[in-house]
Amino acid sequence: MHPDVEKLLFSRADIDNKVHELGSIISRDYAGQDLLMVGILKGAAVFMADLIRAISIDVSIDFMALSSYGASSKSTGVVRILKDLDKSIQNRHVLIVEDIVDTGLTLTYLLKILKARNPAGVRICTMLDKPSRRKADVPVDYNGFTIPDHFVVGYGLDYNEKYRNLPEIYVLKEEIYRSK
């Protein structure tokens, strides 16, 4: 285990099973529809790469880059678009793919922007949901795991741009983010 992590939360097997479960449900729910999956960079990149390969129907993908956290473990509530979608989403079925929903501020902002573009629908798929810290209500349609109030890293999730490459999901030691 990496020396900065407190404990393992979800193993490779836990993650693989969950990704395949979600992939099957999404494939069934969107059968016969024009599905566009939108990964939110950078955190969702790893989950997105696994999830699209667990989907059995035709799907297009795109990415958006938003920034709300910077070099802190706390949300600032300020969300900026760093990279927008390449094409119009009008009349398309959009599925937002996130690594984690925490305060919900990022997705609240994003949902507002995307709904204003008149898609056929927008739903949310997240690997992790941390409902105890919610500041804004967001409708999570597909959730991998609900987690308690710990700062987690790995499988795309970072602290200060570190630990995204860890293949499993861990709780970060408090001393790592408290000292900043």
Ligand X SMILES: O=P(O)(O)OC[C@H]1O[C@H](OP(=O)(O)OP(=O)(O)O)[C@H](O)[C@@H]1O
**30 versus 155: smaller Cβ distance to ligand HPA:** 155
- Judged by CB under 6 A, the residue of 26, 39, 44, 102 near ligand HPA is 102
Let me know: does 100 contact 164? Beta carbons within 8 Å.
Answer: no
The CB-of-69 to Mg ion minimum distance in angstroms stands at: 5
DSSP notation for 40-59: EETTTHHHHHHHHTT--S--
The CB-of-176 to ligand X minimum distance in angstroms stands at: 15
Active-site residue (options: 50, 99, 102, 129): 102
Q: Which stretch binds ligand X (CB under 6 A): 25-33, 48-56, 66-74, 165-173?
A: 66-74
Q: Is 46 in the site for ligand X (CB under 6 A)?
A: no
The CB-of-99 to Mg ion minimum distance in angstroms stands at: 8
The gap between the terminal CA atoms of the chain, to the nearest Å, is 22
The set of residues, in sequence order, having a beta carbon less than 8 Å from that of 41 and lying 6+ positions away, is 63, 64, 65, 66, 82, 83
Q: Is 75 in the site for ligand X (CB under 6 A)?
A: yes
Distance, CA of 89 to CA of 48 (rounded, Å): 19
- Is 102 one of the catalytic residues? yes
